């Protein structure tokens, strides 16, 4: 009981001193502890009104005039410039549209073409993170077939040792989706460049949670989703980053009329648009895109470094509370303790000891545990069969939330 009182009191003090705490009011929230922002971010409070205007006035009244008068046509690059400072990029290098998977294909095939243009046709190998989110692996397999490359899956730690004169492009995740491990973007990018290859990064689990530094570290190409820490809404469009000095050589495998230098010329021959615009393909998904634009307004005047500091403090505190509240040996943290190796989620592996109490009818242990937590107002998610995931979005998650989540977890496991 003394541990509960002490940790709850500390949480209250930490929340009172939190400079980001006022941002919570910018979201639609209730008394549930929402720790699943690493899968779907909470709804920013200004989005419903904005979408009503888009539907009723822009579409309902202005109709086709809104492509010009409401700025629909320029939305992909305009919203890209809103995302740019959150991932450490200057304007003019990010275009929004399509899904993460589609953008991975653009980036990976485009990356192979860039490498061959600079280094010659002997670049016939794609290196991919063997622990990556499955879709990235599927897309990498397809990109290898499309480009005639051999695919080489390795862990991020093994990447420097397999790079060589055959390496064309390397696809890596900034943060591991299962464990929350943060990979060394600066060091791995430098290693890729040292052999003349192209570095492609997936930022789905880092953008909006920590500084990325795309320009600073010379990343060639990057992709990311917007429905996690950027809170863009379910299925909101992804984005593609094309570094300024490779834009004139970037050859997308998906040229469309929206990426044409003269889109309304309707010419049979393709001439790519200048800059990052050549990463566009077809007509933008305006409703989702403008919902995302409204959602990104919550980031105005927010320092990403402050977000990172709070993220680390939150996950530190949560892990401390788990240690205090959960009986020894029932869960094990898969998330690195070192700050330099941690994203903004905590992954806990359930012990087989819990199977008797929680595993029923083929339901995995982690699924059964998470179901109990959700019933008690603590929402996270799980990965089959035994990993509990808790995502900490610093814009709206507080230290009281972290303490309550760990306490409920401890009570259920006891």
Choose, from 106, 342, 349, 389, the residue flagged as catalytic: 389
Q: In the annotation, is 133 catalytic?
A: yes
pLDDT band at 248 (very low <50, low <70, confident <90, very high): very high
Q: What pLDDT band is residue 360 in, cutting at 50, 70 and 90?
A: low
Q: How many residues does the chain have?
A: 414
Beta strands 94-96 and 381-383 are: unpaired
Distance set, CA 222 to CA 34, 40, 272, 276 (Å): 28, 20, 19, 12
Backbone φ and ψ for 109, nearest 5 degrees, come out as: -65, -40
pLDDT of residue 64: 98
Cα–Cα distance, 258 to 138 (Å, whole number): 26
- What share of the chain has pLDDT > 70, as a percent? 99
The one catalytic residue among 27, 133, 318, 382: 133
Per-residue pLDDT at 107 exceeds 90? yes
> Rounded to whole angstroms, how far apart are CA atoms 58 and 72?
9
Quick one: which of 383, 380, 393, 299 has its CA closest to 343? 393
C-alpha to C-alpha distances, 365 to 330, 354, 388, nearest whole angstrom: 12, 7, 9
Q: Active-site residue among 34, 227, 229, 396?
A: 227
| pLDDT score of 87 more than 60 | yes
- Is the pLDDT at 361 greater than 70? The verdict is no
Query: What is the pLDDT, as a whole number, of residue 356?
Result: 75
Based on the residue annotation, tell me whether 13 is a catalytic residue of this protein. Answer: no
Neighbours of 358 (CB within 10 A): 20
Place of tokens 């600079």: 118
Residues 376-407 pLDDT 10s: 999 999 999 999 999 999 999 999 999 999 99
Catalytic residue among 181, 228, 243, 407: 228
pTM over 0.95: yes
Residues 216 and 237 sit within 8 Å (Cβ to Cβ)? no
Distances (CA, A) of 36 to 16, 41, 127, 276, 379: 23, 7, 30, 32, 6
371 as an active site residue: the answer is no
**The residue to which tokens 């063997």 are assigned:** 130
Catalytic residue among 129, 202, 381, 386: 202
Sign of the Cα torsion 21, 25, 27, 32 reads positive
Model confidence over 305-350: pLDDT tens digits?
999 999 999 999 999 999 999 999 999 999 999 999 999 999 999 9
Structural domains in the chain? 2-30+303-413 (3.90.1150.10), 51-299 (3.40.640.10)
The token duo for 105 is 């294909």
Q: End-to-end alpha-carbon separation of the chain, Å?
A: 14
For 92, what's the count of Cα atoms within 13 Å in the CB-facing half-sphere?
Answer: 9
Query: What's the CA gap between 333 and 322, in Å, rounded?
Result: 10
Do strands 345-350 and 331-333 pair parallel, antiparallel, or not at all (unpaired)? antiparallel
In this prediction, residues 139-151 reach a mean pLDDT of 98
How far is residue 180's CA from residue 314's CA, in Å, rounded to a whole number?
A: 14
Average pLDDT, the chain: 97
Active site residue 228: yes
Rounded average pLDDT over 200-221: 98
Read off the pLDDT of residues 265-321 as tens digits, 9 standing for 90 and up: 999 999 999 999 999 999 999 999 999 999 999 999 999 999 999 999 999 999 999
Average pLDDT over residues 102-111: 98
Q: Are 275 and 92 in contact (CB under 8 A)?
A: yes
pLDDT tens, position by position, 158-198? 999 999 999 999 999 999 999 999 999 999 999 999 999 99
Cα dihedral sign for 262, 263, 264, 265? positive
Query: Is the torsion defined by CA of 142, 147, 148, 153 positive or negative?
Result: negative
* Mean pLDDT calculated for residue range 224-237: 98
Instruction: Check whether 359 has a pLDDT greater than 80.
Output: no
Question: Is the pLDDT confidence value at 408 over 60?
Answer: yes
pLDDT at 2: 62
Active site residue 389: yes
Measure the CA–CA gap between 89 and 220, rounded to whole angstroms: 11
């Amino acid at each position: 009981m003394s541990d509960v009182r002490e940790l709850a009191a500390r949480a209250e003090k930490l929340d009172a001193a939190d400079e980001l705490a006022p941002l919570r009011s910018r979201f639609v929230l209730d008394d549930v502890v929402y720790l699943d922002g690493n899968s779907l971010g909470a709804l920013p409070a200004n989005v419903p009104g904005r979408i009503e205007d888009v539907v009723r006035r822009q579409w309902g009244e202005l109709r086709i005039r809104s492509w010009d008068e409401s700025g629909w046509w320029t939305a992909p690059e305009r919203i890209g410039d809103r995302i740019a400072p959150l991932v450490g990029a200057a304007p003019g290098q990010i275009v929004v549209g399509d899904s993460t998977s589609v953008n991975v294909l653009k980036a990976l095939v485009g990356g192979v073409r860039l490498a061959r243009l600079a280094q010659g046709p002997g670049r016939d190998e794609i290196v991919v993170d063997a622990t990556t989110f499955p879709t990235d692996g599927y897309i990498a397999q397809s990109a290898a077939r499309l480009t005639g490359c051999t695919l080489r899956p390795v862990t991020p730690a093994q990447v420097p040792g397999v790079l060589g004169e055959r390496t064309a492009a390397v696809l890596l995740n900034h943060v591991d989706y299962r464990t929350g491990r943060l990979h060394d973007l600066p060091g791995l990018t430098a290693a890729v460049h040292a052999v003349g290859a192209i570095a492609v990064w997936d930022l789905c689990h880092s953008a909006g949670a920590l500084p990325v530094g795309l320009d600073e570290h010379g990343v060639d190409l990057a992709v990311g989703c917007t429905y996690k820490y950027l809170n863009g809404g379910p299925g909101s469009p992804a984005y593609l980053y094309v570094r300024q000095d490779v834009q004139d050589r970037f050859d997308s495998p998906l040229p469309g009329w929206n990426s044409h230098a003269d889109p309304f010329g309707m010419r049979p021959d393709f001439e790519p648009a200048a800059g990052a615009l050549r990463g566009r393909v077809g007509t933008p998904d305006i409703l989702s895109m403008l919902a995302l634009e409204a959602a990104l307004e919550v980031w105005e005047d927010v320092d990403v470094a402050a977000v990172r500091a709070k993220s680390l403090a939150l996950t530190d505190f949560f892990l401390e509370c788990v240690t205090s509240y959960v009986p020894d040996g029932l869960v094990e943290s898969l998330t690195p303790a070192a700050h330099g190796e941690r994203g903004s989620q905590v992954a806990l592996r359930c012990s087989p000891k819990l199977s008797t109490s929680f595993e029923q009818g083929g339901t995995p242990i982690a699924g059964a545990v998470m179901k109990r937590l959700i019933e008690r107002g603590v929402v996270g998610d799980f990965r089959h069969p035994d990993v509990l995931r808790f995502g900490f979005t610093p814009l709206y998650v507080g230290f009281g939330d972290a303490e309550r989540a760990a306490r409920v977890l401890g009570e259920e496991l006891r």
